[in-house]
Amino acid sequence: MTVSGFTFNAFSENTYLLHDDTGQCVVVDPGCYSRAEQEALRAFVTAQGLRVVLLLNTHCHIDHVLGNQFILDAYHVPFLMHEADLSTLRAVPAYAANYGFPDYSPAEPTGFLTPGEPVHFGHTALDVRFAPGHAPGHVVFYQASAATVIGGDVLFQNSIGRTDLPGGDHETLLTSIRTQLFSLPDAVTVYPGHGPPTTIGAERRTNPFLQ
């Protein structure tokens, strides 16, 4: 599995395209809001000969869902998220304009993720792990053979997700990290929702919030 990343919108949110040798592609947390951002993603998909087959959200804060409807309109694919974050998603239209996104188009999921039930595309299976604390329905996607986890806003390089938003809880987040991420091998690369990639081993050794 290959991970291709884009950094979009005023929050510098990381959007990921996951694809394998079949050319099938999954979009995770599309933060593309402007026409230029949307076209950058579409141009990459076209240039690489990819076929988008699925949209996934790790969680549904505004910066991670700005491009959901664009992906659905462009590719007509299923949209999956954890049901516990539905209220987070449905709250976005009420405050989007206040954050500088007056043209936000809300999208509804077509189905829900179940932790422990893998998501499949091409030759690839993604392990869905429930990791609340930053958001009530937060999940991460682990791919064992690629030694990769798409971590959303749970664990960052030398930091962790904020817990002062609705549905956040600091101790819950720490428990999620220790049970769902630190249970993975040290060599696993974490692709976070903001900032550069890191590894499980590096964060286990040096992350100041988890010592």
The tens digit of pLDDT for each residue in 167-211 reads 999 999 999 999 999 999 999 999 999 999 999 999 999 999 999
Domain count, the chain: 1
Give me the pLDDT at residue 24, please.
98
CATH number at residue 168: 3.60.15.10
pLDDT one-digit tens code per residue, 17-72: 999 999 999 999 999 999 999 999 999 999 999 999 999 999 999 999 999 999 99
pTM listed for this prediction:
0.97
Q: How confident is the model at residue 1 (pLDDT cuts 50, 70, 90)?
A: very high
Confidence of residue 128 (pLDDT cuts 50, 70, 90): very high
Domain of 103, in residue numbers: 2-210
Percent of the residues in the chain that have a pLDDT greater than 90, as a whole number: 100
Give the rounded percent of residues in the chain with a pLDDT score beyond 70.
Answer: 100
Using DSSP, state whether 88 is helix, strand or coil: helix
What angle in degrees, to the nearest 10, is found between the helix axes of 35-47 and 68-75?
40
Task: Identify whether the C-beta of residue 5 lies closer than 8 Å to the C-beta of residue 15.
Answer: yes
Sign for the CA dihedral angle at 47, 51, 56, 61 comes to: positive
Could you give the CA distance from residue 137 to residue 130 in angstroms, rounded to a whole number? 7
What per-residue confidence (pLDDT) applies to 163? 97
A 10 A CB-CB count for 29 gives: 27
